[in-house]
């Protein structure tokens, strides 16, 4: 039997200059809402590493070389039924060829 959950936490790694636009567009699809609040996001500055492989089209870096850079980790929470729209919005705005998106079930209601 699978565990039912109603909400997810979504983590998105993105260059800082895309944070506000992404937040604004995610709000339009009800992604950053908790109760009577919207625009609910957390942002952490992180250092990322990657190596573009042959055939890739990197936003930043050189093919075959390990690269590093500053980016922001955005954390939002949204209802499960909005996740497909959220992913669509992220992919439309995100500059990376392969955006890193983590979708994590929230099971808080099991403990209420």
The pLDDT assigned to 112 comes to 77
pLDDT digits 0-9 by tens, 69-111: 999 999 999 999 999 999 999 999 999 999 999 999 999 888 8
Report the distance separating Cα 19 and Cα 26, nearest Å.
10
* DSSP secondary structure string for all residues of 72-110: EEEEEEEEGGGHHHHHHHHHHH--SSS--EEEEEE-GGG
In order of their start, the domains of the chain are 7-43+73-111 (3.30.70.120)
How many Cα atoms are found within 13 Å in the side-chain-facing hemisphere of 52? 16
Q: What is the pTM of this model?
A: 0.90
Helix (H) or strand (E) holding 11: strand 7-14
């Amino acid at each position: 039997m699978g565990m039912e959950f109603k909400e997810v936490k979504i983590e998105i790694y993105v260059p800082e200059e895309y944070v506000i636009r992404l937040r604004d567009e995610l709000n339009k699809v009800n992604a950053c809402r908790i109760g009577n609040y919207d625009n609910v996001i957390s942002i952490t500055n992180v250092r990322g590493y990657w190596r573009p492989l042959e055939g890739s089209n990197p936003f930043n870096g050189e093919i075959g070389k390990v690269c590093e850079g500053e980016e922001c980790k955005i954390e939002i929470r949204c209802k499960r039924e909005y996740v497909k729209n959220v992913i669509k919005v992220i992919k439309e705005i995100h500059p990376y060829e392969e955006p890193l998106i983590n979708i994590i079930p929230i099971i808080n209601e099991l403990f209420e």
